[in-house]
Amino acid sequence: MSTASTQTGSIVHGGLTITHIEAFPVSYPLPEGDSVTLGIGRTVKRDAVVVKVTTADGIVGYGESHHGRSVIAIATLVNTTLRHLVCGMDASDVVGVWARVYKMQLGSHGMGAATSMAMSGIDMALWDIRGKATGWPLWKLLGGRRKGIRAYAGGVALGYQAPDALVEEARPLVEQGYQALKVRVGDTVQRDIERVCAVRKAFGEQLTILTDANCGYTVQNALDVMPALDANRVQWLEEPFPAHDYRSYQEARGFGRVRFAAGENHYTRFEFNHLLSEGAVSYWQPDLSKCGGITEGLRIAAMASAHKITINPHSAMSGINMAATIHFLSAIENHGYFEADVAKTNFLRDRLVEMPYQVDANGEVWALDRPGLGVEVDEDFIKAYPATDGPAYI
C-alpha cells in the first residue's frame, strides 16, 4: 500500500484516498406466486441500492443504501451531492466522512431520511475497504469475535394468509433450526389473533413468536389485540404505529405485558435519543442501510447499552446488508436477534452475492470470516437488473 508523509512526519495512507463512488439502483419483479402482503401493501418487486467505493490503490468496497421505496432517487443522491462531498477524502476516516456529510447535507437543508439512507451505503463500503486493507473481517476490525448470533425467521415473508397456510410456511423454518419467527399483523385484529394463535398451537412453547404491524395499527387496535398477544406469550409487537407517532406509543405502552420494538424507521443517533427519552420502546431495531451506516450503528448500540437495551437490527433487502449486520452484532455487547430473510424468492440475497449466512441447528448464524464484509458482489447481476420505476409495494 502506498504511503505519503505529512510535514509533521506522520504517515497517512495516500492509497486509501477515495477516488470514485457510484451507486447502482437494482430492481427485479417478483413471481406472482411469491408476492407477500404486509401492513405496507403487497410486494411486487424487490429493490436495492448497491454502493461501490474505490480507492487510489484500487481497493473496492461495497455497501448498501436502503431503497426507501424510491430506489432511483436514493441512488441519484449518492451519485450527485454525496459523491462530490466525499471523493478525495481518506477511506479509513469513517468518522470524518460521516461528519462531513452530516455538516454539509444531513444537518441543514438536506434531504433528511434520504440522506441518512444514502450515506449509510457509503459508510458501509468504507468499512468494507478498511477490512480489506487490513486483511481482517469486519467483526474483528470492530473489536468483536466470531460467535453464534440468534436469528429469527423474518424478512419479507410470513405475511397475511389463512392460519393453516401460515403454519405450513413456518413449519420447514422451524425444522431448519429457527427457534423464533415473526408473524405479520396489522391486518384486522381478529385475523391477526387467529394467525398468532395458530402458530402458538402448532409449535408449542419452544418457539418464540414476534409480531410486526408495519405501522398498521391504531391505538384502539393495539388495545384490542394486546390481551391475545399476552395470552400467546408474544415477545414483542413491532412498529404498531409510525416512527414519528410518539404519542401513540406512549398511550399504548401500558396496554399489556408485550413490549414494543421499533427503530428501522428511525435515522441517526439523534432520533434514537428521542426514542430513549420517550421510554416506550424496549427493543431497538436500527437498520445499517438506513440509520447512517455502521459508524452510526455503533453509536446507537453504545447509547442503548447504557440502558440495557438490546439491538435487533432490521435487515431484509440484500445480502450485503445482511452480512454487515451479522458482523456488527458479533462486535457489540448488547446484541439481540439477527433478522433472517426467509422469503421464497430474493435474488438480492442469493444472486447479487453468495448467501451471506446459514442458520444452524441452534437457530444461530455466524459472521463470514473473510476480509471486510466477506461478500463478493456480482456486477453482472447489477447490469442485468437495472432499477424500474414505481413502488415495491402496492
For the domain that residue 149 is a member of, what is the CATH number? 3.20.20.120
Same domain, 79 and 42: yes
Could you tell me if residue 380 is inside a domain? no
Alpha helices per DSSP H over the chain: 71-77, 83-86, 94-101, 113-134, 138-141, 163-176, 189-203, 219-231, 246-252, 268-278, 293-305, 319-329, 347-350, 379-384
Residues 176 and 75 in one domain: no
Q: Is the pLDDT of residue 13 over 70?
A: no
The helix (run of H) or strand (run of E) holding residue 103 is: none
pLDDT (tens digit per residue) in 25-59: 999 999 888 899 999 999 999 999 999 999 999 99
Q: How confident is the model at residue 329, as a pLDDT?
A: 98
118: domain CATH number is 3.30.390.10
Residue 123 and residue 112: Cα distance in Å, rounded? 16
The structure's pTM equals 0.95
Do 14 and 159 share a structural domain?
A: no
- What number is the average pLDDT over the span 133-142? 98
| pLDDT above 90 (res 166) | yes
Separation between Cα atoms, residue 379 and residue 202, nearest integer Å: 43
Looking at the structure of the chain, the number of domains it has is 2
Co-location of 267 and 190 in the same domain? yes
Quick: pLDDT tens for 321-345.
999 999 999 999 999 999 999 999 9
Helices 268-278 and 293-305, interaxial angle, to 10°?
A: 20
Question: How confident is the model over 4-26, as a mean pLDDT?
Answer: 69
Residue bearing cell 415495491: 392
Residue 381 is assigned to a structural domain of this protein: no
Q: What is the pLDDT of residues 172-229, one digit of tens each?
A: 999 999 999 999 999 999 999 999 999 999 999 999 999 999 999 999 999 999 999 9
Same-domain status, 115 and 153: no
Q: Which of 267, 309, 303 is nearest to 286 (CA)?
A: 267
- Whether residues 144 and 280 share a domain: the answer is yes
CA 341 to chain CA centroid, nearest Å: 11
HEC readout, 172-219: HHHHHCCCEEEEECCCCHHHHHHHHHHHHHHHHHHCEEEEECCCCCCH
Same domain, 167 and 266: yes
Query: Which of 84, 104, 135 corresponds to the end of one domain?
Result: 135
Last residue of a domain, one of 83, 101, 135: 135
Q: What is the pLDDT of residue 316?
A: 76
- Report yes or no on 394 lying in a domain: no
Q: How many helices (H) and strands (E) does the chain have?
A: 14, 15
Q: Are residues 181 and 304 in the same domain?
A: yes
pLDDT-derived band at 6, boundaries 50, 70, 90 = very low
Per the domain annotation, does 268 fall within a domain?
Answer: yes
What is the reported pLDDT for 10? 33
Give domain status of residue 364, yes or no: yes
Statement to judge: residues 107 and 171 lie in one domain: no
Task: Using alpha carbons only, give the angle 230, 232, 237 rounded to the nearest 5 degrees.
Answer: 60
Q: What is the pLDDT of residues 273-325, one digit of tens each?
A: 999 999 999 999 999 999 999 999 999 999 999 999 999 999 879 999 999 99
Residue at 383 is within a domain = no
Q: Does residue 187 sit in the same domain as residue 131?
A: no
Domain with 56 in it: 4-135
Residue 15 has pLDDT above 90, yes or no: no
Q: How far apart are CA 255 and CA 259, in angstroms?
A: 10
118 and 168 share a domain? Answer: no
Are residues 82 and 199 located together in one domain of the fold? no
Residue 295 lies in a domain: yes
Which of 70, 100, 135 is a domain's end point?
Answer: 135
pLDDT score at 162: 97
